Amino acid sequence: MDFAKKYDSNYPVIVIDRDFNIVFSNRNSRKIYGNIEGKKCYQVFNNLSSPCYKVMPYVCPIRVLKNTKNKEFTGLYHLNSCGDRYVLMNVIKDKDFFIQKHRFFAEKEFSLPDFKRVLDLLGEGIIIFDTKGIVRYTNKKFLSMFGIKKEPDFFFDKHIDKIRSLFPEEIKDIFSRQEEIPEGEEYLLHFPNRYITVKKSVLDNSFLLWSFIEKKEMDLGDEIFRVLLETTPVGIFLQCSGRFMYINPTMASILETTPGSLIGSSIFDFVHPEYRGKVAEIAKRRNSGERFTEKYVIKVVTGKNKIKWVEITSQTISFRDKNCGIGSVVDITDRKKLEEDLRNLATVDQLTGIYNRYAFERFLEREISRAERYGTKFAILMFDIDNFKQINDIYGHQVGDKVLKEIVQVIKKHIRRSDIFARWGGEEFMVLVPIKNKADAYKIAEKIRKTVENHIFENIKHLTISIGISFYKEGDSIKSLIRRADTALYEAKKTGKNKTVIAD
């Protein structure tokens, strides 16, 4: 790597490897430290014979970046080898190297309370919180960037919860979730007519520094791109390592949250548990270096705990030397609901809400195929309400419909989840029961019959049902099974009603 060309900076820049060896120093660092390449950083900066963290009270930035997922660290240090001088040290992890940028200040002109003078010179909007969420510093650039008409001292020593209403919607949620957002990454936020990048840095493990940089100059291509992203009815996102780096306003709207709630968050925070495995597999392929375009449909859980269906088209791109995913998101919840409604119209009985005749025949067809292939056993129970015509004649069809709905609710409570319950037509019903033998099928049928017999109905108090059972035999068809169940039901009716008969 050509460090000399890459780090020709006005500030001292030093490159250190994982073993604390200085492998490069630019010309400005050599003016201060001399020829230090090949030496250990702790030897040069603090005249030590072992790493600083073993003997010094402050945090070693190299060790922090080696042992965490963080990519950047900023700290204020007093270096023994430089006399009475402080250095603001910004350290960035670049693969197997650590890039240190130093900014020096004499002790006589610099103290910690004057730290704001340094930050005011950076040209960035800066706000600093301690780990409890209390503001320790804001610069004027930050306030002017967001049109906040307060003096910096107004925010000092105030908790975020007391002042968050003063911040624009785009950033207030970021400050409420400071701890969970990874540091060192630059996230891109939409504001009217502009973009702003935001980055978190950790100062001595005690303070969280947020820097905001506004992109002022935009060419025609940038402007067209910005307008498209802001106005398109399609959600757009960029994610790297499973975290959102950018989302457009429509994406935030689909997930019923704010951009600040999404930036830096895990995509799995919003993926419905049923589909996390699917999304994880796509992420695994992408992280392995595979470049592909994928279109898929999943359920998501919004910020308001609503479940939505979305259609995602994502593509692998190279962004900041990583394989990332950029994608479009379309809310298809209404389409899915329409599909479900149409499916219900085809398979659900509109009066009782259970399966209709068409659906039951499809289930029965599937169960016969399973029995033929795997040797499974099942029975069907066909029953109808005894003397139902009299109920309609005496009480009217409205009461008759209420009876049908009530009897369905009674029986649903006494059958298993594996049983298929359907209205066959009129007052006739079917239950498909996976079962091992005729005796067990009879017990289930009798339980249903006695439950109905003992139930007090709203309008007519008591009624009974008759049941016919047919047990699957090798070579059975839908017609033969139903014919035998119907014959058994007829026998139950003919011999007194309110009884269960098993077909031969």
What number of H helices and E strands is found in the chain? 20, 20
CA distance 361 to 422: 10
| 3-class secondary-structure state, position 330 | strand
Mean pLDDT of the chain: 84
Contacts of 155 (CB under 8 A, 6+ apart): 127, 135, 138, 163
Higher pLDDT, 81 or 437: 437
CATH number, domain 232-335? 3.30.450.20
CB 421 within 8 A of CB 481: no
Across 206-211, average pLDDT: 77
pLDDT in tens, 406-442: 999 999 998 988 899 999 999 999 999 998 888 999 9
Q: How does strand 207-215 pair with strand 307-319?
A: unpaired
Q: What is the pLDDT of residue 105?
A: 55
Over residues 205-211, the mean pLDDT reads 75
Mean pLDDT, residues 133-160: 86
Whether residue 22 is predicted with pLDDT greater than 80 in this model: the reply is: yes
How many whole angstroms from its chain centre is CA 331? 15
The three-point CA angle 355-343-273 to 5° equals 95
Query: What are the start and end residues of each CATH 3.30.70.270 domain in the chain?
Result: 348-502
Q: Model-level pTM greater than 0.75?
A: no
Given this model, what pLDDT does residue 108 score? 42
Instruction: Specify the fold of 3-107.
Output: Beta-Lactamase (3.30.450)
Q: With contact defined as beta carbons under 8 Å apart, do 428 and 384 qualify? A: yes
The pair of three-digit structure tokens given for residue 358, joined into one six-digit string:
């068409």
Which numeric CATH code is attached to 348-502?
3.30.70.270
Provide the pLDDT for residue 107: 46
Please write the tens of the pLDDT for every residue from 301-320.
999 999 999 999 998 888 76
Cα dist from 268 to 101, 187, 291, 305, whole Å: 35, 18, 21, 14
Q: Which of 35-49, 105-119, 267-281, 286-300 has the lowest mean pLDDT?
A: 105-119
Distance between start and end Cα atoms, the chain: 86
Amino acid letter for position 164? R
| CA 264/CA 44 separation, integer angstroms | 37
CA angle 215/218/223 to nearest 5° reads 115
**Which residues, in sequence order, are bridge partners of residue 465?**
385
AA identity, residue 471 = F
User: What CATH code would you report for 114-215?
Assistant: 3.30.450.20
User: H-type helices in 317-377, by residue range?
Assistant: 333-347, 357-374
Rg of the chain over Cα atoms, rounded to whole angstroms, equals 36
Which range is least confidently modeled, 259-263, 383-387, 442-446?
259-263
- Which residues of the chain form CATH 3.30.450.20? 3-107, 114-215, 232-335
- If you average pLDDT over residues 200-205, what whole number do you get? 72
d(CA 101, CA 397): 86
| 352 has a pLDDT exceeding 50 | yes
**DSSP track, 416-435:** -TTSEEEEEETTEEEEEEE-
